[in-house]
Structure 1
Amino acid sequence: MARFIVVVLDGFGVGEMPDVAMVRPFDCGANTAAKLLNHFPLKRLPTLEELGLINLVPGTNSIMAQSSAANYGMAQLAHFGGDTFMGHQEIMGTLPQKPLEAPFQQVIAQIEDALSTAGIKHQRVWRDELAALVVEDAVFIGDNLEADLGQVYNLCANFDQISFERVKQIAEVVRGANHAGRNIVFGGHVGNFEQITNAIETRNDPSGTPAFIGTNTPDTGVYEHGFEVVHLGYGVDRFTQVPHLLKQQNVDTWLYGKVADIVQNPEGTSYCSVVDTDSLFSLLVADLSRFDDGFFCLNVQETDLSGHQQDPRQYWKVLERADRGINQVLEMMNAEDMLIVMADHGNDPFIGHSRHTREQVPLMLVKQGIEGRYLGLRSSLADVGASVTDFFGAKAPQSGCSFINVLQD
C-alpha cells in the first residue's frame, strides 16, 4: 500500500514568471524564498534544506547549503495571475482558461436570462444607478468587493430563508451564465434579508465612475452564525480532477486547510476552515498513522497570510513551524510513499504591495531509494496532479504531464 502526500506552502514562490514584465509589472523582481533567506541569513529550515530549498534559490546569503541528495525542480503557473483558488485547481489537474474580467453590470442580463429559463424567481436591486440581483427573496448576487474588482462574483444568502443546497442549485445556473474567474457561494443565518441588502456598497472604476456593486460581506453578518461556502471556478470540472479520478480506483483523498475549502472532494475527507499550521500537521500525522493508502494534500495558509501582511518575521516563523511539520511527515513515511512540497504562487513580503506575486514554485520530492533527481522546469502545476494519478494507476486528469518517469529513469 502507498501514499502520495502533497504539502503546499501557500505563497512560497521561487522567482518571477518569465511573463511578469508584460502581464504584471508590479511583480517584477519578486522572489519570495530568496528574499526571505537573505533577510534571515543565519537561520535554518533544516527539513527544507535537506529537501533542496537552496538548490532552487542558489546565490543567497543563507548559511544553509545545497543538498546533493535532493530531488527537486520548479513549476510554472498555467493559470492567469497568481491565485490560490486556481492554483489548487491546477494542482488537481485542471487546464486553466482565461477568465472574464468585467463588472457584474456586463453580465447581469445573461444571468437573468439563465435564471428565467430555469424558472427561478429574481429581481433587480439598485444603488448609484447600478443593478444587482435578488433571487427567491433570499440570495444577493453581485460583485465581490474584496477581491480584484471584476474577477469574482458573490452569491450571498440568508439561510433562515433558503437552504444551502438550494443556493448551490441556483449557483450552478449562475455559474453557467458567466465566465468570471470565480463565483463564491456562501451564507449564514442572519435573520432578516434586509441585513444583507443594507450592506450593499458600490465601487468606482479607474475613471471614478461607479461600476461595481456588491455587499460589504462582514457587515452582512453571514460569518457569525452557520457560515457555509463553496467556490465555483470557471472551467473547473471536478470529474476531471485528482480526487474523483482516484475514487474510481478506490483510492481515498484527504484534504487539509484551505485546499479543503476550495477543491471539491465529496467522496473523500476534507478538514475545512483549519488555518493554524500546527493543527493542520497534527491532523495529517494522525491520519497517516491510521491509513496506509491514499492521497493526502495539505495547504499551509499562514505563509500566504504573512505575505499579505507584508510581515517577513511572521512569514519565517510560519516556515519554521511548517518545516517541523514536514519533518513529522517524513518520519511517518514508508518505502512506498511519496512526498511533494511545493507552492501555488508567490507572496513576496518585500515587493511593496500586499497581493500575491506571480512566481514559479518549488517542487521538492521525497521517496526512499531515489536521490539526486532533477525534475526539470515543469510548464504547469497540473504536472503534480498528473503524477498523482500516474502513481496510483488512475486515469490522467484534464491537464498535466507526469514526472514519475523521471524517477524511474
Structure 2
Amino acid sequence: MKKRVIVLILDSLGVGVMADAKKYHPEDEGANTFYHILNTTPLKIPNLERFGINKILNHPRLKRIDNNIASYGIMNLMHHGADSFEGHNEIMGSKPKKAYLAPFVDNIQEVKIALETEGYQVSIPDTNLPYLLVNDFVIVADNIETDYGQIYNVSAPLDYIPFEDVLKIGQSVRKNVKVNRVIALGGECVTSKHFQQSVERRADGLVGLNSPKSNVYKKGYQVRHLGFGISPQKQLPTLAIKAGLEVSLIGKMQDVIYCDGAKKFPGVDTDRVMRDITNEMDSVKNGLIAATVQETDLAGHAQDPKRYANRIELVDEYLTEIIDRMTDQDILIISADHGNDPIIGHSQHTREKTFLLAYQKQLAPVYVGERRTLSDIAATAADYLGIEPTENGTTFLG
C-alpha cells in the first residue's frame, strides 16, 4: 500500500516559552509568538482553526472547535537554545548534541593553522577586527545574525570563486571547531572589497560579515549548513530513500537537511514553497514531502507581526488545496522549530515550545499530549511509512 507523509514546518511559530528559558534565556521570558501575533493583528486562519489550533493556543479571538479534524499536541525542544538548524535536524530524528559555545576569535589561530596546512593562503587583515581572509576572497568569521558563539560563517563572492571551493573551506573549518554550525555561503554580483567593508563588530563583541549589508542574498545565493554531531543516515529522509521511497525537500528544509537522493526545491518565497508542495503531491506517490516556510522567521527577525500574520494566512489558504489533494493514505503533520516573538523586545529566536497538528482522513483526532522532543515527528512518520526507526523520538501513532 502506497503511503505519503507531508511535513510542513512554519519556521519560528512558537506557542509559549519553555520552562528552562528563565534560567538559560531570561530575555525570552513571556514569549509566545503565535499568541502575540493574534493579539496584535487581525489574523484569520480558518483551516488551522478547523484543525484544532485553538485547543493549543486558547486565544479568545479564535474559535474553539470541539469537532476538530486533526490530532493535536505540544512539542518541547530537546536542543539547547532556539536554533533553526538544530531544530530541523531534531525534527528529522537526530538526537541533539551539546555543542561548544565560543566566539570565533577563540579559535581563529587554530583554524588559520589548519587551513594553511591544507595549502590555503590565510591572513588576518585587521587585528582590531579579527577575521580570516582565505585565498583573498573568502571571509571566515562569526555569524552576527544569531545567538552568541553558536555559528561561524564562511562567506564568499561567487563571481571570484566557485561555491564548491567555498564549501571545501567550510568543511575544513568544520573539522577544526566544535560549535553548533558552520555555514558556507556565497552570492553573485558582489565584490571582495565590498565584502570586507561589510565586516563589523556587534555590541556583544562578535566580529563577522553583515550578510544583508554585503548583498550576498541578492543574486545567485548558495548555502550549505554543516552541523555538529549530525548523522543523516539515522534521519527520516535518508531512511526513506534507503527503503526505496521518494523524498522531496522544499524551501529551507533542503538548506539544512542533507539527504543524498532526495529531490530538492530551494526557495524562500512562501507562495513558491506552498506551490512546490502541491506540485509534489501530484508527483510523489509513495514517501515523504517535507517543507519549511521561512518567511515567518524572517518576519520575526524584522519584528514585523503584520508581515508574520500575512505569511501564516497564505499558508492557511493553501491548506484547502493540500487537504483536497490528500488521499486516504496521507498524513499531514504541521509544526514549528522554535519561536521568534516579534514583540518580545529583541530580534533573535525565542526558546518556545511548538504546536503539533496531525491530520489523516481516516484516523479520529486525539490529543497526543506534550511531547519531549521535536523528533517525535520523524519517529511517527517512520512508523507510519513502515521504515527503520530514527535515531531519536517516540511515535504517537498509537
TM-score (norm 2): 0.91
2:209 aligned partner? 215
2:71 aligned partner? 71
2:133 aligned partner? 134
Unaligned runs of 5+ in 1: 206-210
1:18 counterpart SS class = coil
Q: C-alpha distance in 2, partners of 1:217/1:355? A: 16
1:208 aligned partner? none
Instruction: For residue 46 of structure 1, report the CA deviation from its aligned partner.
Output: 1.7
Conservation of the 8 A alpha-carbon contact between 1:120 and 1:136: no
> CA RMSD for the aligned pairs?
2.3
Instruction: For residue 139 of structure 1, report the CA deviation from its aligned partner.
Output: 2.1
2:327 aligned partner? 334
Which AA in structure 1 matches 2:342? P
Conservation of the 8 A alpha-carbon contact between 1:130 and 1:212: no
Higher mean C-alpha displacement, 72-81 vs 125-134: 125-134
1:16 aligned partner? 17
Cα distance 1:66–1:38, how it changes in 2: closer, same or farther (>3 A)? farther
2:237 aligned partner? 243
Which AA in structure 2 matches 1:254? S
1:3 aligned partner? 4
Which AA in structure 1 matches 2:211? T
1:360 counterpart SS class = strand
1:97 aligned partner? 97
Deviation per CA, 1:58-97: give whole Å up to 9, x if none: 2x21241133443111110011111222111111111112
2:124 counterpart SS class = strand
Instruction: For residue 188 of structure 1, report the CA deviation from its aligned partner.
Output: 3.2
Q: C-alpha distance in 1, partners of 2:194/2:60? A: 54
Deviation per CA, 1:171-221: give whole Å up to 9, x if none: 22210111122211012345864443343333454xxxxx43323334545
Q: Are 2:306 and 1:313 aligned?
A: yes
Higher mean C-alpha displacement, 14-23 vs 276-285: 276-285
Task: Work out which of the residue numbers 291, 294, 299 in structure 2 matches 1:298.
Answer: 291
Q: C-alpha distance in 1, partners of 2:330/2:314? A: 23
Cα distance 1:252–1:221, how it changes in 2: closer, same or farther (>3 A)? same
User: Where do 1:195-210 residues align within 5 Å?
Assistant: 195-203=194-202, 205=204
Cα distance 1:33–1:175, how it changes in 2: closer, same or farther (>3 A)? same
Task: Work out which of the residue numbers 253, 264, 269 in structure 2 matches 1:276.
Answer: 269
Unaligned runs of 5+ in 2: none
Conservation of the 8 A alpha-carbon contact between 2:147 and 2:348: no
Q: C-alpha distance in 2, partners of 1:389/1:365? A: 14
User: Where do 1:89-168 residues align within 5 Å?
Assistant: 89-117=89-117, 119-168=118-167
Task: Work out which of the residue numbers 377, 391, 394 in structure 1 matches 2:384.
Answer: 391
Conservation of the 8 A alpha-carbon contact between 1:127 and 1:213: no
Which AA in structure 2 matches 1:370? L
Task: Work out which of the residue numbers 220, 225, 235 in structure 2 matches 1:226.
Answer: 220
Q: C-alpha distance in 2, partners of 1:354/1:94? A: 27
How many residue pairs were aligned? 396
Conservation of the 8 A alpha-carbon contact between 2:186 and 2:223: yes
Which AA in structure 2 matches 1:166? D
Q: C-alpha distance in 2, partners of 1:103/1:32? A: 28
TM-score (norm 1): 0.89
